[in-house]
Amino acid sequence: MLKTENLTKRFGSVVAVDDVSIEIPEGEITGLIGPNGAGKTTLFNLITGFYTPSNGTVTYKGENITNVAPHEISKKGVSRTFQVPKPLNQLSVTENVVVGALGEGKGRQAAMEKANDTLDRVNFQGDYSMTANSLNVGQLKRLEIAKAVATDPDLLMLDEAVAGLNPDERGKLVDVIEKLNNQGITILMVEHVMEVVMGLSNRVIVLDEGKVLAEGTPEEVQNDDEVIEVYLGT
Ligand SMILES: Nc1ncnc2c1ncn2[C@@H]1O[C@H](COP(=O)(O)OP(=O)(O)OP(=O)(O)O)[C@@H](O)[C@H]1O
């Protein structure tokens, strides 16, 4: 569904993403892991058009989207969450989904309904009329996912969706991610919580110092000596 070829991003002398060629198969959940600074978020930014690559290409459903603007990529069906949610604090939960994802194209009433349906879909816990500045971490994470899901993506890219959640909230969010995948959404997830990424993913890609260090099933990756050495530990 999505393919990168020789994708590279340099920041001065730092090569944040270094000649990365990967494929994200339709219908699957792909995990993207690696140590801090491995280039995971930079790769997300390259795929979604927030960064222009220094070299290489991104192909989505057979179309070269390498230099396409983020909102155009979103319209094509690729949406992403951000590691640090930045909601509009004075607006309600529903309004954040409307403003952050649905825009002015739809009528306001229809957009509000769509936003509320999406919040239901991601099991947002709480009153949708609350202002965003009163939300806890778990609610902020759900709001962030709702904004991405509201655009009806075919490919959903999650950047550390469960970070900061307690095990109970984590488990509930894992259920939501599984449900979205069962509804036909292909998922690419950056995640540091191994239990979550290994439990959910069909395949896992490991980045280290901007390069693909390993890829395979969760089992293969967890037993890879190099991956254990640079990231997983003993
Ligand atoms: N805008 C930028 N300008 C300069 N250097 C950057 C920029 N963004 C990222 N980098 C550098 O690129 C490398 C990869 O960073 P990136 O944030 O992509 O890693 P990551 O794998 O997402 O890390 P983490 O797990 O900590 O989020 C790091 O060395 C980082 O300092």
Residues forming beta bridges with residue 9, ordered by sequence position? 17
Q: Which atom of ligand 1 lies closest to the CA of 12?
A: 4
The Cα 53–Cα 42 span in angstroms is 10
At 32, is the pLDDT very low, low, confident or very high (cuts 50, 70, 90)?
very high
What confidence score (pLDDT) does residue 234 get? 58
Q: Once rounded to an integer, what is the mean pLDDT over residues 158-179?
A: 94
What confidence score (pLDDT) does residue 104 get? 63
Q: Is the pLDDT reported for residue 106 higher than 80? A: no
Q: Which atom of ligand 1 lies closest to the CA of 51?
A: 1
Long-range Cβ contacts of 98-104 (<8 Å, 24+ apart): 100/147, 101/146, 101/147, 101/148, 101/150, 101/151, 102/150, 102/151
Cα 24 to averaged position of ligand 1 atoms, centre (Å): 22
**Which are the contacts of 162, defined by CB distance < 8 A and separation ≥ 6?**
141, 169, 170, 173, 174, 191, 193, 196
Residues forming beta bridges with residue 31, ordered by sequence position? 189, 204
Cα 73 to averaged position of ligand 1 atoms, centre (Å): 22
| Per-residue pLDDT reduced to its tens digit, 124-151 | 999 999 999 999 999 999 999 999 999 9
The Cα 10–Cα 127 span in angstroms is 44
Percentage of the chain beyond pLDDT 90 is 89
Q: Is the pLDDT reported for residue 12 higher than 70? A: yes
